[in-house]
Amino acid sequence: MGYKLWCFVLLWSFSVSVFATEEVRIAVASNFLIPLKSLAKIFTNQTGIPVHISNGASGMLYAKVKRGAPYDLFFSADARRPLLLEQEGLTEKGSRFTYVIGRLVAWSPNEKKISANLLKLNSTNPSLRYLAMANPKTAPYGVASVAVLKHYGLYESLMTQKKVALGESVGKAYQYTVTGNAQIGLVAKSYVLNLKHPVKGEVFDIPRDVYPLLEQQVVVIKGRKTPAVVKFLTFFQTPAIQQQIQAFGYDTPFPQ
């Protein structure tokens, strides 16, 4: 093999190797999993860059990041944990920002048995075995759910009767409800606006002033600001993608 040809093959092999290792690894709160999967597919189709997604409760993912889990981006369900990571020196400087404002709804798969309207909910109804919600100790949507139940005067009675099923994340609360283990669930609006898998039953839109603002922030983990990560964040903030996110039931902070 001639010297020039050898150099060309070496350069080509190096380029392929670099491209093959270009990827984005994301830890995302369960409520934003469905939208993120949809967006990641579009991003990969446009760029050829694969996106690997891990999901769970924000508290659990925060703990994994602190233990050195190999994530590039952390899309939390709150603003507190990204701020903590920033204060602990575990994020890229200036990378933290609000990516969506979440919405909480009550959902009943069978409104003939249990109405999703929290104004009508009676905790002593024999058809109500469980109301599902995220655990306030691990998930911001759980904190919001407690505030909602207290606002409607349901929290104490449901807890006393042991009719609250806690999931480690709002995704688990949705699973409890969709499987019928719980007759009503306090879930992220994104779950009931899934156009590919529309839900049956009744949805009750909870007024925004009833629960704490669900400001969800993202950070780039320290040492992980790769060109692929920058491309993904740039893609994420484009008007077309922001419109798609809004269609999933979120408010977005970026101008259209």
Tens-place pLDDT, residues 103-113: 999 999 999 99
Q: Is the dihedral angle over the CA atoms 80, 81, 85, 86 positive or is it negative?
A: negative
Output the pLDDT for position 218: 98
Ranges of each domain in the chain: 22-101+214-247, 104-210
Instruction: Write down the CATH superfamily of domain 22-101+214-247.
Output: Periplasmic binding protein-like II (3.40.190.10)
Tens-place pLDDT, residues 172-217: 999 999 999 999 999 999 889 876 777 899 999 999 999 999 999 9
Tens-place pLDDT, residues 76-105: 999 999 999 999 999 999 999 999 999 999
Q: Same fold for the domain at 22-101+214-247 and the one at 104-210? A: yes
CA distance 76 to 170: 12
Residue 19: CB partners within 8 Å, gap ≥ 6? 48
Question: pTM of the full predicted structure?
Answer: 0.81
Instruction: Strands of 58-192 (E only): list them.
Output: 73-75, 97-101, 104-108, 131-134, 164-167, 184-188
Tens-place pLDDT, residues 112-162: 999 999 999 999 999 999 999 999 998 899 999 999 999 999 999 999 999
For residue 1, pLDDT beyond 90: no
Output the pLDDT for position 198: 75
Our CA angle for 199, 148, 194, nearest 5°, is 20
Q: Which residues pair with 185 in a beta bridge?
A: 107, 132
> Could you tell me if residue 101 is left (phi over 0), alpha (psi between -120 and 50 degrees) or otherwise beta?
beta
Topology of domain 104-210, CATH: D-Maltodextrin-Binding Protein; domain 2 (3.40.190)
CA distance 4 to 77: 54
Find, among 22, 17, 41, the residue nearest to 244 by Cα.
41
Which helix (H) or strand (E) segment holds residue 215: the answer is strand 215-220
Q: What is the mean pLDDT of residues 15-21?
A: 45
Q: Which residues pair with 97 in a beta bridge?
A: 218
Per-range mean pLDDT, top range of 3-12, 72-81, 245-254: 72-81
Output the pLDDT for position 253: 84
Tens-place pLDDT, residues 19-77: 446 999 999 998 999 999 999 999 999 999 999 999 998 999 999 999 999 999 999 99
For residue 229, pLDDT beyond 80: yes
CA distance 143 to 131: 15
Output the pLDDT for position 195: 67
